[in-house]
Amino acid sequence: AEAIGAGVVRFIPQRLREAGRQYMAGVSAGGSGVMRMGDHAEIFGLRANGEEFPLEISLSRITHGGKPLYSAVLNDISARRRVEARLNALANYDALTSLPNRALFHQRLQRSLVHAQRFNEGLAVLFIDLDRFKNVNDTLGHDAGDRVLQAVAERLHGCLREVDTLACLGWDEFAVLIEQVTDTRFVGSVARKLLKTIAELLMLGEQEYQITASIGISTYPADGSDATALLKNADIAMYRAKERGKNNSQF
């Protein structure tokens, strides 16, 4: 109802109207003929209440009596964007912790390796496995186990820099990507900090619970030149940490 009788400019935010005017001026100077229907662009639209929303616009031009006439088809694609965002989350993020999943972590690691190779930089992968996590589910139940995983994810995130990538690889396994590594001693200090944070007492309802983790570390270029090799070697190092008594880290 609010669209009827309104000009297209009504649906364009003020900050974008000058760009829209310039675009239309370019279209007007493009000569006669008909623009292909189906060509479209995505812009920000404007609701009556001032809220911006994703808007798809298709513009067509015909020449009638020597004068150009324009037809614009506007489509509110908010629902489509919500669905796409949901599908992206399902494909790339862990449902319980909202962290990147294994597939997305692998993609980011590959991208970081390209950068590291180009600029001759180092990076590190930390593979984190919670110790005896099965006992949590067996003694406290899966709901408690889920809360533990969420709490651990929050703690790990709080220990890392914004530029670091934290991912949940599945169940009780996490991974961290640290870029621009110039000294492996820094990576070791990060691992110790993570272990200390994980080991802090957790309150589940009225019950205290303590959990530890084992961390395996691989570095580029020393331990591999591709994402698969780095993840594999970090996993191997993690099992070495388990063999050496758990609650420790190994390169």
Active site residues: 172
- List the beta strands (DSSP E) in the chain: 40-46, 52-64, 67-76, 122-130, 165-170, 173-181, 202-204, 207-209, 213-220, 249-250
Is residue 194 classed as helix, strand or coil in its secondary structure?
helix
Bridge partners (DSSP) listed for residue 37: none
Going by C-beta distance under 8 Å and a sequence separation of 6 or more, which residues neighbour residue 248?
195, 214, 215, 241
Count Cα neighbours of 98 within 13 Å in the Cβ-side half-sphere.
5
DSSP code of residue 3: S
CA 47/CA 55 separation, integer angstroms: 11
